Structure 1
Amino acid sequence: VEWLHFPPREGKWAWGFSSACRARLRLLWQAGYLDRLWPDRFHGPAVYTLDRRGVEALAAYRGFPSDGLIGRGRKELSPLFLEHALDVARVYAAVAAALREVPEVHLADFRGEHTFRGPGDHDRFPDPADPRRTLPVVPDGLFVLERADGKRRLVFLEVDRGTMAVRRVRGKVRGYGGYRVGEGPGRFRARFGHPPVFVVTWVGRDRRGKERLREVVGEEWARWSGTGGGVVHLFHALPDLTPETALGWEDGEGRKVSLLGRR
């Protein structure tokens, strides 16, 4: 996936990469493992998604049931849904490619949004802003980074194309804070098998979007720092995310911070 977003420009893989990649995708599509969509009515690039056969093969390889993963049908895939999915894939690709250059850390796992959507697949916490409500914790993705000594770092991903309402961003901040108070730490350990020490990464569609997220998240985090403080929030802009920059993020003050936990 990372090569599709960031094709190699040097070395033995660079020559003829694009044509070979397209040929491989076309072969998988013809064999029924992939579906091919044209969001721009054949004027732009094609988007390949897993078809039924591909989902079943991947599920068998990973050892999980495919029932809840069978394609939703191309008629339900709106342009906005596709664009968001491609943005998440770009972030994944950039981080995965960047980690190839860091031998002491590897990507132990990545979980997409669909793995948190089902009943019982996510946690809900009382909303400190409105006790009548509960807040679900359903990220766009979760990176599990593992060091050579076995220590892991959990990184939640939130990608905003500029369509996420401010109230929803604020709700997500409070939701993640639920893992730090009351029964939250125990529920975090039960679900992820680790202490509730984690990072939430926010990706804006551009630098202006990044600053908007930083402002809203910072305000909400400061407001409820006594109920869920200690959560680390980091920020990046999608156009700036490449394998060369994917491990360098900014904190709430705009300071450079490593995704690996090193400044």
Structure 2
Amino acid sequence: MSRIVERVRRVRFTWTHLAALVIALLVAAPLYWMAVSSFKGKDEIGANPPTVFADHPTWDNYREAFADNNFGTYLLNSVLVSVIATILVLSLSSFAGYALARLPLRGKAPIMVALLMISLFPTIALAAPLFLLMRDVGWLNSYQGLIIVYTALNVPFAVWILRNFFLGIPKEMEEVAWVDGASPVRTVLTVILPQARPGMFTAAIFTFTACWTEFLIALTLNTADRYRTMPVGLALFGSQFTVPYGTIFAAATVSVLPIALLVLVFRRAVVSGLTAGAVKG
């Protein structure tokens, strides 16, 4: 009987890893094709049959993206907006998540449902009202307009993640800090947040990714070229009669690198944070 169970486990283990390998290849194939095509010349990109490798690698596509299409400015704008919005989201959601997890507040369940509904609200329905609001306050074609909007849109989901993670931290740690005379704010900063690093990393990566890849709001609020973010600038490459596929591939490859590096570096923290959020209710 034990041998049969062991064989079943081995078969499951093998098939699970094969399925994971197939999924990984399916996900990696478009990324590989994009990266390789960014080093191909125009003739090689349009070759039939297509080439799996770049026969004559060139940096011309990257030069055109940054020198001729102002992609460096778009990239810096995205970095500025995404980093500041992520910091603001973490600052606000940390205290809100702690309050919903620990403090004896009334109406916690309706608040959590409202936060979930806000996080699921379609962005396209907010584009016109946000445009009118930013026009009235004079924040069209500005950094602060996007930062405030991105912060407001991402706080609800970050609160969900951090609140569930805070529930998994033992209350005894807070009680010891209170006995030592620590205030609630100091307790959160010195005791709770250090223990919630995986959840913080998870919320930060999700928030940064959402801000980094957001297109509709950025296109609506910032029409001036100097304030455009990376997704908008990338979408506007080319003209009415030509599409610079090589330049687009090069810019897209650069835009994917920050997210890929974040996930690779903090993958354990992200998995830990998501697991904790899934277990605690």
Shorter-chain TM range is under 0.3
TM-score (norm 1): 0.22
* Larger helix share, 1 or 2: 2
TM-score (norm 2): 0.21
Q: Which has the larger radius of gyration?
A: 2
* Larger strand share, 1 or 2: 1
